[in-house]
Amino acid sequence: MEFKFNVNDIFKQPIVEINNNLIPPGFSGDRRALWDTLGKVSEVVNTMGEASAVAQGLSKPITTAERLRNSEHKLYFLIDQAANNGKGAVTGMLKTGNKGLYVFDRDGQHYQVTPPCILDFYIHESRQRTGLGKHLFEHMLQKEEIEPVKMAIDRPSDKLLGFLNKHYLLNSPVKQMNNYVVFDGFFPKSAEPSHVTESKPSGNLGRKESANGLQKFTSPQGRYGAPRPPCSMGQIIHNQTTNNKNQEPTGAQIVSQ
């Protein structure tokens, strides 16, 4: 994506990380320069967010500068510094952030967790199928020190699922009722009891916490069993309520690399 201004003046590295202050890495200047830079970064965020929404067939963008300011999410931009006659172009965007979720494994056990999530993923149409998506994704994994199997993906497209299968051998996704997708390796292994410790039961539920932050709720009912544990719906409603302020519709899209 090309812009009228010189992208290389504000993004000085091939991959840059932007958080909710919208200040690019390496910025230096007075207040006037800061406001000018913030305006340009906001334009990049909004333009890339709109392009991602169009690619996903969404009615409105899920990534905007305003939403980024009001969240703890991160944006990774991929920059082609030689493009646009040396002024640079933004060729990819990846948004991540932690979300409070209730997720089910294949056995119907549900867990309370706040994992790193893939919230938006877009590579410009002119640069798809060139390996840039893998390059950007790998950079994010290294920066956040996470394995892809430990991340939750919000509303992934078939192409993104194909990307994860091709590059990370992640297949047979465990689809959740909240539109997120995880994989079997996301959950603690029952064969390794040292990773899960028993805690005092609350009500009719026995709760276990794992070292990676997952809280396991054990109950005789399965995923679609009835009746559900007495406090499950209350917990889910409470979770949705407490996260409503910062919650935004999210999604992820990428053409296979």
Binding site members: 121-134, 157-166
What span, in angstroms and rounded, lies between the C-alpha atoms of 10 and 15? 12
Nearest to 170 by CA among 155, 186, 157, 192: 186
What span, in angstroms and rounded, lies between the C-alpha atoms of 33 and 229? 56
Query: Tokens 């703890």 label which residue?
Result: 72
- Output the known binding site for acetyl-CoA: 121-134, 157-166
Q: Cβ of 175: how many Cβ atoms within 10 Å?
A: 11
Query: Tokens 């305003």 label which residue?
Result: 66
All residues at 6 or more sequence positions from 114 whose CB lies less than 8 Å from its CB, including other chains: 98, 99, 100, 101, 213
CA atoms within 13 A on the CB side of 87: 8
What span, in angstroms and rounded, lies between the C-alpha atoms of 160 and 77? 18
